[in-house]
Amino acid sequence: MISGLGKQGKHLLWFAMLVSLFPTICFSSEPGQITGQVTDTSTGQPLAGVPVWIEPLKIGTTTDSSGRFAIGKVPPGTYQLHGHIIGYSLVCKKLKLKTAETVEISLTMEPVSFRLKDVVVISEKEKISEAEHSQAFVAVIRAEEFEDKSVSLPEVLAGTAGVQIKTLGGLGSYSTVSVRGTSAQQVRVYLDGVPLNSALGGGVNLGNIPLSNVERIEVYKGTIPAKFGGSGLGGVVHIVTKRMKARIGGYGLNSGTFGTRQSSVFFSGRHRDFNYLTAIDYTKSDNDFPFLDDNGTRYNKADDQWRRRQNNGFQSANFVGKILWRFSGRAEFSVNNNFCWSSKGIPGRGSFQSRFARLKVTQNLTEVSFLRRGFPKYGWTFALKGFNTYYANDYRDLEAEVGLGKQDSHNVTQTYGGKISLKSIVGQYQVWSLLLKWKQERFLPSDRLHHEHLFESKRWSYSLAAEDEIVLLREKLSCIFSLRKESYQSRFYGDYTHGHWVKAPARKREYRFLSHRLGVKYKTLTWLTIKGNIGKYYRVPSFYELFGDKGATIGNTGLEPERGLSRDIGFRVTIGHIGKIQETALEIAYFDNRMDNLIQFIQHSQMTSRPENIGKAHIQGLEITGGTNILGHLRIEGNFTYQQALNRSDLYGGIYYDKLLPNKAKRETSVRGTVFSGDHGEIFYDYSYTDKNFHDLYNKVPIERRVIHSIGFTVVCPWRRQLKGTLQAKNLTDTQVADLWGYPLPGRSYYVTVSGAF
């Protein structure tokens, strides 16, 4: 493993190992130690940032993101352990500590119900607290920010600094995410910890994931924590569905322009040691919005005419089920299942719309997990997870309206995998984590038009990660260092020759590489935090890139893995009450990504393209995110991203050198202003700006700049405060835009949403 790092990497590794051993050597003679976890009595969820102290010694600490704490150098004796945080009652527990003993204590805190004048401020504090805990730059989007509104997952992510969304138009359409100028294939997407990226490739379609079942969204920019067990160049989008709570439920109804209808319901409860949750969502839309058709003559405005999008209808059904069983006080067993079904028309390009082409998708994700605290002795947490995903798509185009010929395919992708992790608080200053993850992916295509069962592809992957987090200088400085060893083996059976799949000797590709990450966070003052990260990552080619398809893509089995070095540095300022301003937050981050062996699709003819390792790319930029709360009734928040995603390839004599990478705008801005009242509701206004960019590598086909205005208001029912109604108007100026050439996005539209709790 060490030989793969190079000279500088070796020095960095030995330095990190010496630093990690320093606290253990210095404090090995501690008289005793108290460790444990603080949880919420009603939900059983761990509580982060809770002050825990020992009376009468007056020494203590605060809990980490998993609710764990450790207090070292405690002399033998009998003490009272106290824990307290705003919103929960004070908890005390008596304990007796012997010489050189480690005592494990569990504290459960009861929520205190009291009325706050401004609930939104509390939510913002929670968001800041979670972002400050990580050394990485993380954007956390909570359900409170979107649950009463008619928005999709791609729309919510598009308002995040450094995040770009590309969609083929309309609700439920194929939508992908990129972070800090990377491609959709380079971003890892997880749903409740289960990876959605497949060996088949093409990025993850976010259009099928409803927001009604989502609790929060975490966007890790540029760096990937070891707990995800995978490597990538563009960071992580982690979608977390609703958590299990004691006796709570809710519903939502939505109706809007272009035949859009949506309904959802969820219910959560608890019986003794069992927690359970059920959530159901159904969405339907005709998506027949008007658009300006240029008739395939982009520069001739005389033949432009208004048409309606046809064969663009969409419907989906989603089901989430969760069960959690806690037993013996330190162990828990859970089963999560997420099922999705969708059916939609494939409209084709704007000037050449289809009438009959359709795509049906069935997807099911299942995760089974076991967690044991205090294993094999106090201070260790053991977690075992197994997951299975099934993804089937049926694509039918019997009139050859979209592809190069008639198609009727049924393709299945199955994934099996597991993860073992160990985590331990060492002394008062370190947290050690070990993770082993394995996964097998199987892609089985079939051609129903020619009655052919095509030859399958397989990929096996293994990942071993070690992570060490050190806290120094009275918890002002924290450092995290991780190493990840990954192995991939791909095998492809068969070949596509002269219009038919034929049996061929198995082709095999193997990849092994070592990646690393170093992150630092320094809280210089109570209101100022500085962060910095550096990491080396890889991405192996997908099946789609290696072997192509039956249509317009020619595979390239000679592709090499992409390599990247990700760096960022920045600071966060959080200021409390200043006169009429209740709270202000500002975060500025500079990022610099350097990539090698970057994979891009090159047009080889009017009808075909082939992926190539085009060489190097350099992406650098600046992200500014801020928000302020004025007079307790006005909140302004927004972000600005500036990036230069430059192609540094020498391919074809350097004709693309210093050109902008496709679909990577230099400037993007998003602003939201909200006038709110806790008793009556709120009025909100959204503004988004995207700078001019290009469809192609040569920067000859432009995507014009866009400005989108949206407005809406939410009303709270005075006699039933859980009941809310929202009216929204999107794209007020009816701006005609398209992310991809020939795939228009909707213009002006209106939506009504009714939501409540029971």
Given this model, what pLDDT does residue 255 score? 94
Most confident of 126-130, 189-193, 423-427, 681-685: 681-685
Domain 31-109: which CATH number of 2.30.40.10, 3.40.50.300, 2.60.40.1120, 2.40.50.140? 2.60.40.1120
Average pLDDT over residues 311-329: 90
Tell me the mean pLDDT in the region 192-205.
Answer: 80
- Per cent of the chain over pLDDT 90 is 32
Report residue 283's pLDDT band, with 50, 70 and 90 as the boundaries: very high
Tell whether the model's pLDDT for residue 604 goes beyond 70: no
Q: How many C-beta atoms lie closer than 10 Å to residue 186's C-beta?
A: 24
Q: If you average pLDDT over residues 147-172, what whole number do you get?
A: 88
Residue with tokens 């005793």: 32
pLDDT at 753: 95
At 126 the pLDDT is: 41
> Mean pLDDT across the stretch 466-482?
89
Instruction: Give the CA count within 13 Å in the CB-facing half-sphere of 611.
Output: 24
Residue type, 129: S
pLDDT of 25 reads 40
| pLDDT over threshold 70, residue 217 | yes
Quick one: average pLDDT of 493-501?
52
More confident residue, 723 or 58: 723
Residue 640: the pLDDT is 96
Higher pLDDT, residue 501 or 752: 752
Query: Is 234 in contact with 183 (CB distance < 8 Å)?
Result: yes
How far, in Å, CA of 159 to CA of 711, rounded? 15
Tell how strand 102-109 and strand 33-40 pair up: parallel
pLDDT tens digit sequence for 606-626? 555 778 888 899 999 999 999
Contact 744, 168 (CB under 8 A): no
In this predicted structure, what is the pLDDT of residue 621?
A: 95
**CATH 2.40.170.20 in the chain, residues?**
119-757
Q: Output the pLDDT for position 670.
A: 95
Half-sphere exposure of residue 418: CA atoms within 13 angstroms, side-chain side: 6
The answer on pLDDT for 674 being more than 80 is yes
What mean pLDDT comes out for the span 535-544? 85
| Mean pLDDT confidence for 170-191 | 87
- Local confidence band at 23 (pLDDT 50, 70, 90 cut-offs): very low
Side-chain-facing half-sphere of 127: CA atoms under 13 Å: 26
What percent of the chain has a predicted confidence (pLDDT) above 70?
Answer: 87
The reported pLDDT for the residue numbered 202 is: 67
Cis peptide before 56 (omega within 30 of 0): yes
Confidence of residue 9 (pLDDT cuts 50, 70, 90): low
Per-residue confidence band for 439, with pLDDT thresholds at 50, 70 and 90: very high
CA distances from 430 to 22, 471, 695 (A): 10, 6, 48
Report pLDDT for 90. Answer: 83
pLDDT band of residue 388 (cuts 50, 70, 90) is: very high
pLDDT at residue number 4:
47
Which among 157, 257, 295 has a CA at the least distance from the CA of 746? Answer: 257
Q: Residue 364: its pLDDT value, please?
A: 95
Q: Which candidate, 516, 463, 464, places its Cα nearest to that of 489?
A: 463
Query: CATH 2.60.40.1120 region(s) of the chain?
Result: 31-109
The pLDDT of residue 170 is: 83
Instruction: Give the CATH architecture of domain 119-757.
Output: Beta Barrel (2.40)
**Beta bridge partners of residue 281, listed in sequence order:** 264, 318
Give me 573's structure tokens: 């300022």
pLDDT digits (tens, 9 = 90+) for 333-348: 999 999 999 999 988 7
When pLDDT is cut at 50, 70 and 90, the band that residue 211 belongs to is confident
**Backbone dihedral angles phi then psi of residue 644, each to the nearest 5 degrees:** -120, 110
Q: How confident is the model over 495-514, as a mean pLDDT?
A: 65
- Report the range out of 121-130, 147-156, 637-646 with the highest average pLDDT: 637-646
> Sign (positive/negative) of CA torsion 403, 182, 363, 456?
positive
* 566-584 tens-digit pLDDT: 999 999 998 877 766 777 8
Mean predicted confidence (pLDDT) in 395-422: 86
The 3 state secondary structure assigned to 712-742 is EEEEECCCCCCCEEEEEEECCCCCCCEEECC
Residue with the bigger pLDDT between 358 and 72: it is 358
Instruction: Tell me the average pLDDT of the chain.
Output: 83
Mean pLDDT of 221-228: 81
Residue 403 pLDDT level (bands cut at 50, 70, 90): low
CB proximity list for 659: less than 8 A, separation 6 or greater: 646, 647, 694, 697, 698, 699
Query: Is residue 550 pLDDT above 80, yes or no?
Result: no
In the prediction, which pLDDT does 7 show? Answer: 54
Q: Once rounded to an integer, what is the mean pLDDT over residues 300-309?
A: 85
Question: Strand 138-142's sheet: what is its strand order?
Answer: 138-142, 214-220, 236-241, 188-191, 194-195
What's the confidence (pLDDT) of residue 499? 45
Per-residue pLDDT tens digits for 588-600: 999 999 999 888 7
Please state, in angstroms and rounded to a whole number, the distance separating the CA atoms of residues 581 and 636: 11
Quote the pLDDT of residue 668.
95
Q: Which pair of structure tokens corresponds to residue 259?
A: 């035949």
**Partners of residue 260 on adjacent β-strands:** 256
What pLDDT is stored for residue 116 in this prediction?
Answer: 37
The least confident of 201-215, 357-371, 460-474 is 201-215
